[in-house]
Structure 1
Amino acid sequence: MLNRTTLARPYARAAFEAARDADTLSRWSEALELASEIAGTEEMHYLSGDPRMGGDRLLELITDIGGERFDESFTNFLKVVIMNGRLELLPEIAVQYEQYRREAEQRIRVEVYSAKPMDDKESGDLAERLKARFGREVDMHVEVDESLIGGAVIRAGDKVIDGSVRGRLEQLGRRINA
């Protein structure tokens, strides 16, 4: 059985290409986010599993909720997703779509886990340093993790920069035990 990431990839790619060709990348981001939220509800999970609920009725229900935020192109995309029984993949499709979008826009998503809250100046300075390091615009998300003791851990794609006190203590412990 293929995993969710593999199953979602062709849909995410198709969504990205449709949005790019129509120059509506941000609109599709918003539509995918909303459609993912709708598809993720308990009610929608129940309805999509009901054999009496046909694909057309399911599509109509979702597009009624989405309203004007779903244009004709996005509605056609949703129809393909629903008719292929892949509605539950919408959250994964949205994640992968955003990866394609960031790549096309020369941006990178960076997760920062800081021991203490960062003020606007600190986060701005860090974003500028990361932009210089990665050569891309930075979409930075900051969370506080007091277990780090001090410093921060930065994750950007498959790169991890551990500048935390906890990380340094763990390194020291490994050296001592080696």
Structure 2
Amino acid sequence: MAELSTTARPYAKAAFEHALAASTLGEWSVMLATAAAVSQLPEVKKFLSSPAMTTAQQAQMFIDVCADTFNAGGENFIKILAENKRLGLLPTISELFDAQKAIQERTVDVELTTAFALDSESEKRLAEVLGKKLAREVHVHTTVDPLLLGGVIVKAGDLVIDGSVRGRLAKLAEAINS
């Protein structure tokens, strides 16, 4: 994974800088996410690995499949990736691009795992508190895990806050055993 990130980083940075200069971060994020999804399709992987296909043919196939999503800049980006035999990096490029976009826009995706479904008011208050703590705009995604017994687990990037009853019981058991 580290090698993929290292190889993909200059492409993601170039796409990000171009999109930022053109004020089209959202559009580029969608283009890259679409291209990443297409690149993972089994038929496309087979096509891309075929030695009979030229890089121009590979690029054109990508452009044809994603024609509704790509603008001229996106098409040029795909052509450059194809020429450099880097179309397989699209998922990593998309991920790195979105990380840069989140930093630029001062946003963060937060995953809340709760023991039971939260009402919209509780979710909104939690998002506000997290937004102040992280100094970013928070986009909340909630999942329910009844095994937590109670409480909530918050995941925001590398930050994990385990406020669940199950987590507290595990810490208590660890403290007793040490």
What is the TM-score with the length of structure 1 in the denominator?
A: 0.94
2:15 maps to amino acid = A
Q: How far apart, in 2, do the equivalents of 1:3 and 1:141 lie?
A: 30
Q: CA deviation at 1:114?
A: 1.5
2:140 partner SS: strand
1:121 aligns with 2:115: no
2:80 maps to amino acid = V
- CA deviation string 1:81-115 (max 9, x = no partner): 12222212111111111110010011122121112
What is the aligned residue count? 178
Q: CA deviation at 1:158?
A: 1.8
Q: Is the alpha carbon distance of 1:32 and 1:106 closer, same or farther for their aligned partners in structure 2, counting shifts above 3 Å?
A: same
Q: CA deviation at 1:155?
A: 1.2
1:64 maps to amino acid = D
Give the match for residue 166 of structure 2.
Answer: 166
- CA deviation string 1:55-82 (max 9, x = no partner): 1111111111211321111111111112
1:144 aligns with 2:144: yes
Alignment of 1:90-105 (within 5 A): 90-105=90-105
Give the match for residue 7 of structure 2.
Answer: 7
Runs of 5+ consecutive residues of structure 1 not aligned to the other structure: none
- CA deviation string 1:20-67 (max 9, x = no partner): 011100000111111111111000100000011111111111111211
Give the match for residue 44 of structure 1.
Answer: 44
2:79 partner SS: helix
Q: How far apart, in 1, do the equivalents of 2:82 and 2:141 lie?
A: 32
1:58 partner SS: helix
Q: CA deviation at 1:16?
A: 0.7
How high is the sequence identity, in percent, across the aligned residues? 38
Q: Is the alpha carbon distance of 1:2 and 1:99 closer, same or farther for their aligned partners in structure 2, counting shifts above 3 Å?
A: closer
Q: How far apart, in 2, do the equivalents of 1:87 and 1:140 lie?
A: 31
Q: CA deviation at 1:145?
A: 2.1
What is the TM-score with the length of structure 2 in the denominator?
A: 0.94
Q: CA deviation at 1:2?
A: 5.6
Runs of 5+ consecutive residues of structure 2 not aligned to the other structure: none
Give the match for residue 131 of structure 1.
Answer: 131
Give the match for residue 62 of structure 2.
Answer: 62
Please provide the CA RMSD for this pair: 1.4
1:68 partner SS: coil
